[in-house]
Structure 1
């Protein structure tokens, strides 16, 4: 089994390490920080991320500590999307500071057998046909590691991306948001407070330890030049101007600004070097999607890279990582740019646009649900290269099988799952497969006529069939499973 090195021990790198270890791949994670960053850039885990944690059997610690918010916002609009309408066991976002999310993911990765080296960073690389020589530096000086593959999960300023010669085209910042983690003597009521108008927009979210996160933007923050360091007095003035009060803010533990620079790597793979998370896409943190999309990058890549490292990947499998996730990244940038425009629509015309879209969210359930599915990650689908069953490439919901089992429980091993809804089954042609037979299909309309389906380790449908003839169905299933391994 070939060794994989991951640059970056944030959520994306840690989850990727655990996914690789699930398949038995040796992994070393190099993290430049000697200590975990106490400041949490992200606060939100979305429904699809919770589903992924669930079908690996590790969701409970996150659910036990996080605060469930049954709605979400798009571009800071006044009307919020109802996540209760979503087909998921987790119809909510989970508010949990990134620092704690990383702590839980680190424990999971290390327990899985990943080696985490803090205070170590990648400084360069040389790759050839057989592997990558990783140049690194640690507390005792420079050294090298030999790996089959190197994955850059090292953020928007990725050393791996630059050393591999992967372009990162896009646009520079034209506006700046601001945030403060502060104590409030007179905090607003409710899980989330939001106010917006010509003076700007602000959201207030409670965090653990008696701290509140205040985040927003205003017309004074527009412009290409960084507006300087944020002070408590400046934050107080901005919030008072927008909300009419400063909520008694004091004792800041973190004050920061962030811009809307938007970029995407033009290749997620170059030879034996791959990118995931912020190393692959950079954007304004609208909707709290960044951590979640990186997490989903890692889930898509993990099983494919493990197969490649083991020498069992069929032709083109590892290349499909770019083919599937690059369009998702492009859609992410489209969504965050649109939300940034709404958040900065301070003029009268922009306020009217915000009002109109808010009314649509409140009165057109299909519109609200569509936005919620996009934001939550549940709408992601991977279009097959040829016309196949309509479910192919879709995210599989947590099917409640007639014997009481659920699909998510069957996915815990990180293997493909072959479902038979006919009461009979074909012996699995590979040990890298879970085969499960029930007598009836799931009642969801899209699944009600399905006779058999193959679900990938990342929870997306690889193959489905409504074939009624038993021998033909058996042959189709055998072909579909045989295509997953060399």
Structure 2
């Protein structure tokens, strides 16, 4: 089992495969870990998954701010969740380089083999496996594996070599993002605004002009987040091959705002464009794609969440195939489910593009109405779940039986089976003391854990939870034994293979 790419998605996949008893080889073309500023944090549903795996404290301890204020950008407006009791969307401010380091540590602890300085040169597959040609530090290598997963980013060599198209759009705009201190001549006001000599007050949040968008926020009291967006046609004098400079950022702020903003020491400078792309298929025989190799999303804060969840969905299914007990078509459900989730993420991020890019009075009115709607609790929660990916409910067979089927299991359910979730094990949780249901799964007890719990106001009589924390099956309260056991056994066979009588002890 070979993973190409040791970014967050590839490393998450490696750790999850190890949990499922597979020791993958991870190939990374870079010779050493890079501290290039990229993503600035983790957010969304992947944080819930990391919590249930028992590793979230590692990331929280390393975060620059483990509990930032729950205010999130959405297409040039703000989703302010500070007024809600219990935010449905969370984030950690932690540099991507630190995320990669922590995920690499976890993967190695669990048994993954991570090799840096190994660049993919070729790939070929047949019915039995995949052959990859690699340029390594000691010369060329030829390796074979039963499966290869491309986690090698938006310019994926795996995707290109396989010939999977990557249709979509590159938006004609230049985005510049920085973390920078402010000089003593600039005063930070209590609400986060700036008082700039000769320019007056510059508001925190987004400021839109006919020349672009300026954004101002704060990483901490000393470090500002300064962001600009300009149409590409209006900008000259930069090259994608050259790193962004502080002078380039100053020039961009001057063009957008029409004022000179003094800037101090840069902590991070980056320039990027947004793309909206998704491959038509996440699988080509024995070669699969995950993360940015499969989709690019035109908004900050979404791609990493979606990609890491791709990895969690894929890992246990690959492991089932490699261990020889996967039911027919189990691996195909990876494409079905995660292409669906990727399309959902593409939907909300393209909606952000529409909100962000309009410059006429009608677009201003749309943003104002949208911002006003977000002052009500229900719309705010709905949009927060959309950003987080928490609203994804896979269209599984039998999903009409119960509203939980296909959804990420509720916290009170996952917390009840915490030991199984930490180990990445599937589990049947009996909430109604149904001996008939426990008896129905005895032939799978070597693959699926069984737990019982008592809940006064239970949502179902029993819930079957997959290793990726999604509900595979649920029994409506009071469902008769015949139909409940029959549907449960069908679900067990569909997800966890044919029933096999466990060997006798002794």
Structure 1 length as normaliser, TM-score?
0.89
Alpha-carbon distance in 2 for matches of 1:224, 1:266: 33
Match of 1:312 among 322, 325, 340: 325
Decide which moves more: 341-350 or 27-36: 341-350
Gaps of 5+ in 1: none
Alignment of 1:162-241 (within 5 A): 162-185=160-183, 186=186, 188=188, 193-198=204-209, 199-207=211-219, 211-218=223-230, 220-221=231-232, 228=239, 230-239=244-253
Q: Paired residue for 2:396?
A: 384
Please state how far the C-alpha of 1:317 moved relative to its aligned partner. 0.6
* Deviation string, structure 1 residues 396-420 (Cα, Å, up to 9, x no partner): 111158xxx5244431121111010
Taking structure 1 as reference, are residues 29 and 449 closer, same or farther at Cα in structure 2, changes over 3 Å only? closer
Q: Paired residue for 2:472?
A: 462
* Residue 406 of structure 2 corresponds to residue 393 of structure 1: yes
Aligned residues of 1:44 and 1:94 also touching (Cα < 8 A): yes
Q: Paired residue for 2:489?
A: 478
Alignment of 1:12-411 (within 5 A): 12-66=9-63, 67=65, 68-69=67-68, 70-78=70-78, 80-82=80-82, 84=84, 91-185=89-183, 186=186, 188=188, 193-198=204-209, 199-207=211-219, 211-218=223-230, 220-221=231-232, 228=239, 230-239=244-253, 248-284=262-298, 286-362=299-375, 364-386=376-398, 387-399=400-412, 406-411=416-421
Match of 1:413 among 414, 423, 429: 423
Decide which moves more: 10-19 or 419-428: 419-428
Alpha-carbon distance in 1 for matches of 2:464, 2:427: 6
Alpha-carbon distance in 1 for matches of 2:169, 2:377: 34
Decide which moves more: 149-158 or 40-49: 40-49
Aligned residues of 2:433 and 2:452 also touching (Cα < 8 A): yes
RMSD: 2.7
Aligned residues of 2:313 and 2:468 also touching (Cα < 8 A): yes
Alpha-carbon distance in 2 for matches of 1:223, 1:340: 19
Alpha-carbon distance in 1 for matches of 2:277, 2:138: 35
Secondary structure, counterpart of 2:15 in structure 1 = helix
Alpha-carbon distance in 2 for matches of 1:53, 1:187: 39
Q: Paired residue for 2:200?
A: none
Q: Paired residue for 1:435?
A: 450
Alpha-carbon distance in 1 for matches of 2:258, 2:103: 40
Secondary structure, counterpart of 1:463 in structure 2 = strand
Alpha-carbon distance in 1 for matches of 2:443, 2:348: 42
Decide which moves more: 75-84 or 451-460: 75-84
Alpha-carbon distance in 2 for matches of 1:423, 1:152: 44
Aligned residues of 1:429 and 1:481 also touching (Cα < 8 A): no
Gaps of 5+ in 2: 194-203, 498-506
* Deviation string, structure 1 residues 179-232 (Cα, Å, up to 9, x no partner): 2233323474678941222253333454589654422313x4457999546442
Taking structure 1 as reference, are residues 290 and 85 closer, same or farther at Cα in structure 2, changes over 3 Å only? farther
Larger radius of gyration between Structure 1 and Structure 2: 2
Decide which moves more: 379-388 or 469-478: 469-478
Alpha-carbon distance in 1 for matches of 2:136, 2:488: 49
Taking structure 1 as reference, are residues 345 and 59 closer, same or farther at Cα in structure 2, changes over 3 Å only? same
